[in-house]
């Protein structure tokens, strides 16, 4: 069933229209990683997030492999690209990775990312009568982007924490850019979203109802790699080096937030105020996929399976490969 969902989603969105592969020329971050090796990693990304961090920090300088970027608006088409062999790696919060694994995408989580959860939130119009989570009962909530996003987990978790059932709200799924346009025009009252879209929503007439801090989301994300990539010894070695460089880049974002915000403005065209918000909400470190990480994310999987969003459920520990990041 979930395999059909992924195939249908790819057809509906148009994989070729969503995929942009940037080589080692131009103004790509990859032009700092053009070594003499014949190995090329095609790194999956969302909204130029990883590319911007690595370009701003210069962390790819001196790498002896090439990097190309596969850019997407959201996680679902990125995972479909990995399934189709158009990208070597995944990049997402925990629930999109779980959804993809449940849907049969062949990859392993090879590194964990961590932040404080502030980057995911439920935003309402300033004039909305929704003042608390309990006021969501009977309301339509737009979730970005597809079924199984991290924003949907936040919604499900806070409803449960406040004594409500998931069926107490009416969920509609919209891609972030479509939801952003509808929210800014006043057509959406309640929007569960993340990252730049959350920041823009708050700037354009929104009010934060609740965010993912204080354990309302796990705060974990994952870098994954396709099984084909992991079976290629040269690519696997390059990926291990890339993850260490990504760790260096994430440390740079923590200590150089102004420079990181400037890089977001330059590469993404973001408003400077939004760029500062995004810079403060970035993942802060790259971690091994440990039993503790797997256990925390298994709780996410079990909750979403319990409300029928994740079916079949996922054994998180069996979906990890801890041998890449050493």
Distance of alpha carbon 83 from alpha carbon 147, whole angstroms: 18
Q: What is the C-alpha R_g of the chain?
A: 19
| Maximum pairwise Cα distance, the chain | 60
Whole-angstrom Cα distance, residue 176 to residue 31? 29
Q: What is the pLDDT of residue 66?
A: 96
- Tens of pLDDT, residues 154-174: 999 999 999 999 999 999 999
pLDDT for the residue 35 = 56
pLDDT in tens, 101-140: 999 999 999 999 999 999 899 999 999 999 999 999 999 9
**pLDDT of 6 over the 70 cut:** no
| For residues 6-22, average pLDDT | 34
The CA distance from 165 to 141, in Å, is: 14
Cβ within 8 Å of residue 294, ≥6 positions away: 316, 317, 320
Q: Hey, what are 162's tokens?
A: 């406040």
Structure tokens at 262: 């400037």
> Where is average pLDDT lowest: 44-48, 95-99, 196-200?
196-200
Say yes or no to pLDDT of 149 above 80: yes
Q: What's the pLDDT at 9?
A: 34
Nearest to 143 by CA among 193, 91, 89, 103: 193
pLDDT band at 1 (very low <50, low <70, confident <90, very high): very low
Tell me, what's the pLDDT at 253?
94
- Averaged over 147-151, what is the pLDDT? 86
Residue 18 has pLDDT above 80, yes or no: no
CA 262 to chain centre: 21
The CA distance from 40 to 34, in Å, is: 9
Tell me if the bond preceding 145 is cis, omega within 30° of 0: yes
Token pair recorded at residue 32: 């700092």
CB atoms within 10 A of CB 240: 16
308 pLDDT higher than 70: yes
**Residue 74 vs residue 258, higher pLDDT:** 258
**Confidence band of 12 (pLDDT split at 50, 70, 90):** very low
Q: The tokens of 165 are what?
A: 């059932």
Tally the C-alpha atoms within 13 A of residue 108's C-alpha that lie toward its C-beta.
19
Band (23; pLDDT cuts 50, 70, 90): very low
As a whole number, mean pLDDT of residues 224-250 equals: 97
């Amino acid at each position: 069933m979930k395999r059909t969902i992924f195939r249908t989603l790819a057809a509906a969105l148009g994989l070729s229209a969503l995929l942009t592969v940037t080589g080692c020329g131009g103004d790509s971050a990859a032009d700092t990683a053009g070594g003499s090796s014949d190995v090329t990693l095609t790194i999956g990304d969302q909204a130029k997030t990883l590319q911007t961090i690595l370009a701003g920090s210069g962390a790819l300088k001196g790498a002896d492999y090439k990097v190309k970027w596969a850019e997407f608006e959201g996680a679902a088409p990125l995972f479909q690209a990995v399934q189709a062999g158009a990208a070597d790696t995944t990049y997402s919060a925990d629930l999109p990775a779980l959804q993809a694994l449940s849907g049969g995408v062949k990859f392993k989580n090879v590194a964990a990312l961590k932040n404080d959860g502030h980057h995911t939130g439920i935003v309402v119009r300033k004039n909305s009568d929704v003042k608390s989570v309990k006021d969501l009962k009977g309301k339509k909530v737009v979730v970005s982007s597809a079924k199984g996003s991290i924003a949907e987990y936040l919604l499900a978790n806070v409803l449960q924490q406040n004594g409500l059932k998931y069926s107490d709200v009416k969920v509609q799924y919209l891609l972030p850019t479509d939801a952003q346009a509808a929210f800014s025009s006043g057509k959406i009252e309640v929007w569960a979203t993340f990252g730049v879209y959350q920041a823009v929503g708050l700037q354009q007439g929104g009010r934060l109802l609740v965010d993912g801090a204080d354990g309302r989301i796990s705060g974990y994300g994952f870098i994954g790699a396709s099984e084909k990539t992991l079976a290629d010894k040269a690519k696997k070695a390059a990926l291990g080096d890339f993850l260490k460089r990504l760790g260096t880049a994430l440390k740079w974002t923590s200590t150089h937030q102004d420079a990181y915000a400037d890089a977001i403005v330059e590469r993404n065209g973001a408003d400077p105020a939004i760029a500062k918000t995004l810079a403060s909400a970035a993942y802060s470190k790259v971690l091994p996929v440990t039993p503790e990480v797997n256990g925390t994310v298994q709780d996410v999987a079990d909750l979403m399976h319990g409300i029928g969003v994740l079916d079949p459920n996922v054994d998180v520990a069996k979906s990890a490969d801890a041998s890449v990041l050493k």
